[in-house]
């Protein structure tokens, strides 16, 4: 009896999923894809062509965070921006705000 119910439930689930999946058979044959058009939307942060995505990757390549956090900045710090990211230059070290603390960063 349980095998019969398991089979029935599997078929019901497969049919339920099939109603939500739209497959274009022509695109599967010609391009090997289940989508007939690009799904990425420019302007979303994770798409390659968006301004936010480009700024994020540029900042990641330039500023490397360390695991060293401080509660307060040393005296004599100067606020600067590096590729649009706010950092504090204090002597030979750079700090970036992270919540209520500051993280030491290396700038390349």
Per-residue pLDDT tens digits for 26-70? 544 555 555 555 555 555 555 555 556 666 655 555 788 889 999
Q: Are 69 and 101 contacting, i.e. CB atoms less than 8 angstroms apart?
A: yes
What are the DSSP E strand ranges found in the chain?
A: 63-70, 78-82, 85-90, 93-98, 101-107
Q: Are 45 and 52 contacting, i.e. CB atoms less than 8 angstroms apart?
A: yes
CA-CA-CA-CA dihedral for 71, 77, 78, 83, to nearest 10 = -50
pLDDT of residue 81 exceeding 80, the answer is yes
**Res 17: pLDDT:** 66
Span 74-98, average pLDDT: 90
Question: Helix or strand or coil: residue 14?
Answer: helix
**Res 105: pLDDT:** 92
Spell 37-74 as b/e; 16+ CB within 10 A means b: eeeeeeeeeeeeebeebeebeeeeebbeeeeeeeeeee
Q: In this structure, is residue 20 part of a structural domain?
A: yes
pLDDT of residue 104 exceeding 90, the answer is yes
Per-residue pLDDT tens digits for 9-28? 888 887 776 666 665 555 44
What is the extent of the structural domain holding 33?
A: 1-37
Query: Per the structure, how many domains does the chain have?
Result: 1
Q: Which residue has the higher pLDDT, 50 or 86?
A: 86
Q: In this structure, is residue 33 part of a structural domain?
A: yes
Q: In this structure, is residue 89 part of a structural domain?
A: no
Q: In this structure, is residue 1 part of a structural domain?
A: yes
């Amino acid at each position: 009896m349980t095998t019969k119910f398991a089979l029935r439930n599997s078929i019901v689930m497969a049919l339920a999923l099939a109603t939500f999946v739209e497959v274009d058979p022509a695109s599967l044959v010609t391009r090997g894809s289940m989508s007939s058009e690009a799904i990425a939307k420019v302007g979303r942060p994770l798409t390659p062509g968006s301004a936010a995505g480009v700024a994020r990757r540029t900042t990641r390549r330039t500023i490397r965070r360390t695991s060293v956090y401080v509660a307060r900045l040393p005296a004599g710090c100067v606020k600067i921006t590096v590729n649009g990211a706010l950092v504090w230059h204090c002597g030979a070290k750079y700090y970036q705000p992270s919540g209520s603390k500051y993280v030491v960063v290396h700038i390349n």
